[in-house]
Structure 1
Amino acid sequence: MTSILVVYSSLNGENSKSTELADYYLQSREGSETSVTKVDVAELALAHLTGEEMQAWMTDASERTSSQKRLAAVSDDLVAQLQAADEIVLAVPMYNFGIPSSLKAYFDRIARAGITFKYTETGPVGLLEGKQAKVFASRGGVYEGGDYDTQTPYLTHFLNFIGITDVKFVYAEGLSMGEDSANESIANAKGKIIELTQKVAD
């Protein structure tokens, strides 16, 4: 049984193209032995990370105040979901050349020293080894491989940092450049998703 954690991040919910691609991937996996957990970080509406919340994590669980327990539970629960997953699926639209701020707030809570990564004499080491990640990225323009595509290196670096080094991207671009361009891009992306699914089956 493969446990899949799906993280949605679009403000457009079910109307989002990144959501459509992630759901298409899940549909293409139907029939295989999988369990799916879904998290919509836009709906979670996580606040910007504060020093108070970070201090709650750093306080021993037995010594936390009731307020610190409440603050720490947010991150603890998200990390537990991630640790339990074999595969992470990220549905990521591009907002102003970057990832949604809601996804950044989520990342801030799953990057936990001593839990999802650790520091060593030779540098940081990720602790979530053996997991795979699929990123379904939707963009209004065409940015893949260019200077304005800050998402791909950032997501790659972040996932690698916490130990997830098997990362694959599928892009749907030019979605705001006319209906024909959008339809062609979505079709091409879905074709690549089928290829990914076939490789998983192999």
Structure 2
Amino acid sequence: MSAPLKTILHINASARATGSVTRDLGQTFVTRLVAKSPDAEVIARDVSQGLPFLSEEWIGATFTDPAARSAEQKEALALSDTLVGELKAADTIVIGTPVYNFSVPAALKAWIDMIARARETFQYTENGAVGLLQGKKAYIIIASGGTKVGSEIDFAGTYLKHILGFIGISDVTIIAADQLMIDPDNRDAALAQTLELAA
């Protein structure tokens, strides 16, 4: 029997507030996870309305030793620190995202840029970059109209799996409701997988 979950980070990236496959599947999945771990805290982070893009000030602040950062630099990193803190606190991450033009929504890419930080979520060593967030489990719930998830034109699911691995989260499961404009039944298949994994 698996240990109860403590903290679930649920990220939504779909621009659609209603009628979103990834929002519906993600909420179903998280609800089932909480039913099995009723004491788990859920951190809900909706990035769909956008996050700030990286700026020269932000980059300068990240390259400055934390002990030497000015008040302005600390302010520049405040949101990023919050997002990184949410990720560090979670033992389970659920990311719901559509495929927009073969890749992730710009808002989700902005989140990635905010949390992929040297000395925070990865570090450079003589053998290359090493992720610092080991021991976590991630689920990517992804929907597309025509792109086959995992195919050579999927730059969303493969990218998310890679970036999660880069920061140390190698245990990643993808739940795909893909090619819905071609085969609407794939939504039912994804729901079935969602319920099976949650069980």
Name the TM-score, length of structure 2 as normaliser.
0.91
Deviation at 1:64, TM superposition (A): 3.0
- Cα-to-partner distance string for 1:95-147 (whole Å, 9 max, x where unaligned): 00000111111101101111100111111110000000000000011412322
From 9, 32, 35, the equivalent of 1:31 is 35
Secondary structure of 2:36 counterpart? coil
Aligned counterpart in structure 1 of residue 14 of structure 2, from 10, 14, 19: 10
What CA distance in whole angstroms lies between the structure 1 residues aligned with 2:127 and 2:69?
Answer: 32
Moved more, 18-27 or 159-168: 18-27
Q: Give the alignment partner of residue 94 of structure 1, picking from 73, 86, 99.
A: 99
CA distance in 1, matches of 2:155, 2:44: 25
| Cα displacement (A) at 1:62 | 4.3
2:30 partner amino acid = L
The count of aligned residue pairs is 193
User: Which residue identity is paired with 1:36?
Assistant: V
Question: Aligned AA for 2:172?
Answer: V
* Structure 1 CA distance for aligned equivalents of residues 181 and 196 of structure 2: 25
In 1, Cα distance between the equivalents of 2:59 and 2:146?
36
The 2-side partners of 1:162 and 1:13 are apart by 29
Q: Which amino acid aligns with 1:197?
A: A
Q: Which amino acid aligns with 1:172?
A: A
Which of the numbers 132, 155, 159 marks the counterpart of 1:127? 132
**SS of the counterpart of 1:155?**
helix
Give the 3-state SS of the residue equivalent to 2:41 in structure 1: strand
Q: Which moved more, 1:83-92 or 1:27-36?
A: 27-36
User: Which residue, 104, 109, 112 being the options, matches 2:114?
Assistant: 109
Counterpart of 1:159 (choices 158, 164, 174) is 164
Percentage identity across paired residues of the two chains? 38
With over 3 angstroms needed to count, the CA separation of the structure-2 counterparts of 1:97 and 1:142, relative to structure 1, is closer
Q: Which segment is superposed worse, 93-102 or 145-154? A: 145-154
1:142-178 C-alpha deviation (Å, 9 max, x unpaired)? 412322111222111100000000000001122223x
1:40 maps onto 2:46 in alignment: yes
What does residue 179 of structure 2 align with?
174
Q: TM-score, normalised by structure 1?
A: 0.90
Unaligned runs of 5+ in 2: none
| Paired residue secondary structure (1:77) | helix
What one-letter code is carried by the residue in structure 1 that aligns with 2:177?
A
Instruction: Give the root-mean-square deviation of aligned CA atoms.
Output: 1.5
Distance (Å, rounded) in 2 between the aligned partners of 1:55 and 1:14: 39
1:194 paired with 2:195, answer yes
Greater fraction helix: 1
Q: Give 1:14 shift.
A: 3.6
Higher mean C-alpha deviation, range 80-89 or range 188-197: 188-197
Q: Structure 1, unaligned stretches of length 5 or more?
A: none
